[in-house]
Amino acid sequence: MNKPVNLDEAYSSFDELWSPRIIAQVNDYDVKVVHVAGEFTWHDHPETDEFFMVTKGRLTIRLGDPDQASQVVLTPGDVYVVSRGVRHCPLADEGTQLLLFEPRGTANTGEASQGTVGVPI
């Protein structure tokens, strides 16, 4: 049986950056919270779109070719979906927090390197 999850409590239960925590599951998707700051790695997800919602702070997502990237800037309450196969690189202000929806088992680094799929809180 499910129980309610308070986002503030979920975020306060860990400090690690770029290390998502699974707070719920919807069908075959994980709902994750994550603290982010600085630049992440350039990567893509060939098999799935990636959903970002900023709950605190500011996130810039660079898209496409690293040498000629376009970018999207998100602030609290903003949602953006990076389409499958699109190379991207998140860059976050200190203190930024995200809510993610990803198919169960999706690594946060896609195909780029050894990443994490998230751990349950």
Pick the more confident residue, 8 or 109: 8
pTM over 0.75: yes
What is the DSSP code (8-state) at residue 61? E
In degrees rounded to 5, what are phi and psi of residue 39?
-95, 135
Q: Assess whether pLDDT exceeds 60 at residue 111.
A: no
Q: Where are the beta strands (DSSP E) in the chain?
A: 21-26, 29-39, 50-56, 59-63, 70-74, 79-82, 88-103, 119-120
Average pLDDT over residues 99-109: 84
> Are 23 and 32 in contact, with CB atoms under 8 Å apart?
yes
In this structure, whether the domain defined by 7-108 belongs to CATH 2.60.40.1220 is answered with no
Distance in angstroms (rounded) separating the CA atoms of residues 87 and 92? 17
Distance in angstroms (rounded) separating the CA atoms of residues 84 and 34? 20
What are the pLDDT digits (tens) for 24-79? 999 999 999 999 999 999 989 899 999 999 999 999 999 998 888 899 999 999 99
What is the percentage of the chain residues whose pLDDT exceeds 90? 74
- 1 pLDDT band (50/70/90 cuts)? very low
- On the CB side of 2, how many CA atoms lie within 13 Å of its CA? 7
**N- to C-terminal Cα distance for the chain?**
16
Give the start-to-end residue ranges of the domains of the chain.
7-108
In degrees rounded to 5, what are phi and psi of residue 116?
-120, 145
Average pLDDT over residues 16-23: 94
